[in-house]
Amino acid sequence: MTEIKKRVALVTGGSRGIGRAIAVALARQGAFVIVNYSSSPEAAQETLNMVREQGGDGELLKFPVQDSQAVENAFDGIKSRHGQLDILVNNAGISRDGLLLRMKDEEWLQTLAVNLNGSFFCARAASRLMLKARWGRIINISSVVGEMGNAGQVPYVSSKAGLIGMTKAMAKELASRNVTVNAITPGFIETDMTAALDDKLREEHMKAIPLGRYGQADEVAQLVAFLTSDNAAYITGQVIGINGGMYM
């Protein structure tokens, strides 16, 4: 058990899937969890209910991560209510898939706005509180495709690869104040999105995974929980894959 009691954590895109699992895992270990969402209050409330079922506590916080001013306002609110923010998990993300030749400007811009700009805006705001406190953990949820590429996903891959570079640069800037920054690159994880894939596509994906199965959201969440704990205090600037061996 890697307890993180008395820590305040923000999980962006926390209403479902990997974000929900992360929120629950952090709550299980004692953090007060702020669940960010942008469009589904019902799903976000379900996450918060699960947090409380684990004996934890938290709150909901709606704001679009791609809106710089909305992010600043949200973090000002966190500071006024809690006086601190110790853990940031940049999990919010979208994907606009399609062939490069047919990709529209807005699909490219939307993807980078949420996945890359949003993570930057949140990390910038969080770092002010963490540097002052001389303690902090920032976890950026990238993707295995940000490391290996994937046809039909140029905007998504570009944004996730950008997160990896951003992680390394931020880690070097913030390390002197005991703030660590790491990236996690999940492979195929069982979520609502992957559940919607047809059987033939799922079978094709499975062939590329040496362990022969999809990962579970809680497996990603447990890695996040470890990286946010004191047990991971000497780990920063790292890109950690959790992909069943599909990329080594």
pLDDT of residue 112: 98
19 pLDDT band, cuts 50/70/90, is very high
Average pLDDT over residues 51-58: 95
Mean pLDDT of the chain: 96
Cα-based angle 134, 137, 140 (whole degrees, multiple of 5): 145
Average pLDDT over residues 38-67: 97
Q: What is the dihedral of CA 202, 100, 246, 22, to 10 degrees?
A: -80
For the question of residue 247 being annotated catalytic, the response is no
pLDDT of residue 13: 98
Residue 179 pairs with which residues in a beta bridge? Answer: 136
pLDDT digits (tens, 9 = 90+) for 233-242: 999 999 999 9
Spatial CA neighbour of 89 closest among 202, 204, 10 = 10
Least trusted range by pLDDT, from 162-166, 187-191, 243-247: 187-191
Average pLDDT over residues 141-152: 97
Q: Pick the catalytic residue: 37, 156, 214, 234?
A: 156
Residue 205 has pLDDT above 70, yes or no: yes
Residue 214 has pLDDT above 80, yes or no: yes
pLDDT digits (tens, 9 = 90+) for 85-131: 999 999 999 999 999 999 999 999 999 999 999 999 999 999 999 99
Residue 57 has pLDDT above 90, yes or no: yes
197 pLDDT band, cuts 50/70/90, is confident
Residue with token string 């950008």:
162
CA distance 180 to 191: 28
Residue 192 has pLDDT above 80, yes or no: no
Spatial CA neighbour of 158 closest among 97, 238, 71, 237 = 97
Length of the chain as a residue count? 248
Average pLDDT over residues 43-72: 97
pLDDT of residue 2: 55
- Mind giving me the DSSP string for the chain? ----TT-EEEETTTTSHHHHHHHHHHHHTT-EEEEEESS-HHHHHHHHHHHHHTT-EEEEEE--TT-HHHHHHHHHHHHHHHS---EEEE-------B-GGG--HHHHHHHHIIIIIHHHHHHHHHHHHHHHHT-EEEEEE--THHHH--TTBHHHHHHHHHHHHHHHHHHHHHGGGTEEEEEEEE-SEESHHHHTS-HHHHHHHHHT-TT-S-EEHHHHHHHHHHHTSGGGTT--S-EEEESTTS--
Q: Environment class of residue 238 by beta-carbon count within 10 Å: exposed (0-12), middle (13-18) or buried (19+)?
A: middle
Q: What is the CATH number of domain 8-237?
A: 3.40.50.720
Using CA atoms, how far residue 82 sits from 15, 33, 57, 128, 136, in Å, is: 21, 11, 13, 14, 15
pLDDT of residue 198: 81
pLDDT of residue 48: 98
Spatial CA neighbour of 228 closest among 161, 142, 146, 135 = 135
Q: Where are the domains of the chain?
A: 8-237
Spatial CA neighbour of 141 closest among 36, 40, 241, 5 = 241
pLDDT of residue 3: 63
21 pLDDT band, cuts 50/70/90, is very high
Q: What is the number of alpha carbons within 13 Å of residue 185 lying toward its C-beta?
A: 27
